[in-house]
Amino acid sequence: MITTVLLVTAALAARAPQDTLDASARRALADVRFLADDRQEGRGVGSDGLARAGAYIREAFARAGLDASFQDFAIPTDAPAVLHTKLGGTATRNVVAILPGTSPALRGQVVVIGAHYDHLGRGGFGAMDPDSTGRVHNGADDNASGTAALLEVARRLAGQRPARTIVFVAVDSIYAMLNMDMVGRLRSARLLALGAATAKEFPALLDSLNTPARFDLRASGDGWGPSDHAVFFAARRPVLHFFTDLHEDYHRSTDDWQRINQKGVAEVARFVADLAWTLANRPGPLTFVDAPRPQATAGGGSGYGAYLGTIPDMTGSGGVEGVRITGVRAGSPAEQAGLAAGDLITAIGVKAITNLYDMTDALRSHQPGDTVVIVVKRGAAEQRMTAVLGRRAS
């Protein structure tokens, strides 16, 4: 879900105070537990639970010493993401906190850090587990984790005297946008920095910051990912989306706080705070690198299409054409067909698969219940498997 964004803009001139990671992890977990508690009803758009979450976030910003406010808006009725929902026109709000810059030359430029705080509510549209409609979907990783990391970044940077500032609405003045969406499942220190190709300076910058941080950092890709940073990329701003990758609980009612890696959230927050600091104080401009917008899919707007249940490797397929998968969902058509972690999908039915967009397209062109042949490369061997596609969501 990308409908409700909260933003804190950071501009800095003195080094952020360093806190112990353990204290940071405890605070992050407390935030996740509040936001992903059943009482917040899954933070569905328009719900009382989402309103309570918003109030909590504003309060947390204020307690950190930042100037925080709500920005009310109604979800546009023609937004592509709401065509199949009844969310168009629903009133909701962003939470915006500002850390003003001090440099006369640079305070007109902004570093934006964002994380959406809404989730699926009680399931239904967008959920991967249609049988669970009515059950609270807590979204601990998606995206209480990013929200908690955002609050930790704010706590680390609040009280500083930054060079660059923040103006949330003035897109022209945005220097870079850092998005944290699903950062709660750090495994084997593997952190994805999607959008690293959107500024020439990003790869080296991320590399140098990672020398002390020591993530298994996968920095790659353009800015067209399915989250809040894409609109900033469309406005030709460098963007980064930090992400600890997909997992079986994604968009399911099992995405609960008990499965959050709290130390991982704190580590990501520390890394993003350091990056925000560096960006807000480096002297020169960033060199924006554009990329073509992915083609609208043939079935766009006509629904989700059929369900396969693969977990794609979001870092890509290692330069070869196809979609590499890191696993399959339990009980899914993919599992029943025999697909496994490490497989490279190269065709679904008659359609060649070179990337994730092809795959979305192929699944949208099929109906639940269709039988399709899936061609995969497993090691050197090519294998053909037969899957009976399922239903994606109710």
Q: How many CB atoms lie within 10 A of CB 393?
A: 18
Stretch that binds Zn ion, among 101-109, 174-182, 312-320, 378-386 (CB under 5 A): 174-182
Stretch that binds Zn ion, among 26-34, 93-101, 173-181, 303-311 (CB under 5 A): 173-181
The verdict on 143 binding Zn ion (CB under 5 A) reads: yes
323 close to 312: Cβ distance less than 8 angstroms: yes
By residue count, the chain amounts to 394
Distances (CA, A) of 162 to 7, 19, 109, 173, 208: 17, 19, 11, 16, 21
Site string for Zn ion, 92-131 (x = CB under 5 A): ----------------------------------------
Find the shortest distance in angstroms from Cβ 232 to Zn ion: 16
Which residue, 182 or 205, has its beta carbon nearer to Zn ion? 182
Which residue, 107 or 392, has its beta carbon nearer to Zn ion? 392
Which residue, 144 or 387, has its beta carbon nearer to Zn ion? 144
Number of residues that bind Zn ion (CB under 5 A): 3
The verdict on 142 binding Zn ion (CB under 5 A) reads: yes
Helix (H, G, I), strand (E, B), or coil: what is residue 17?
coil
The verdict on 249 binding Zn ion (CB under 5 A) reads: no
Residue-wise burial string across 41-69, b where 16 or more C-beta atoms lie within 10 A, e elsewhere: bbbbbbbebbebbbebbbebbeebebebe
Find the shortest distance in angstroms from Cβ 119 to Zn ion: 8
Stretch that binds Zn ion, among 63-71, 163-171, 181-189, 206-214 (CB under 5 A): 181-189
Find the shortest distance in angstroms from Cβ 116 to Zn ion: 6
The verdict on 228 binding Zn ion (CB under 5 A) reads: no
The verdict on 181 binding Zn ion (CB under 5 A) reads: yes
Residues paired with 111 in a beta bridge: 10, 176
Gap between the Cα atoms of 64 and 289, Å rounded:
35
Which residue, 140 or 158, has its beta carbon nearer to Zn ion? 140
State the greatest distance between any 2 C-alpha atoms of the chain, in Å, as a whole number: 63
Residue type, 85: T
Distances (CA, A) of 183 to 32, 54, 160: 11, 19, 25
Binding site for Zn ion (CB under 5 A): 142-143, 181
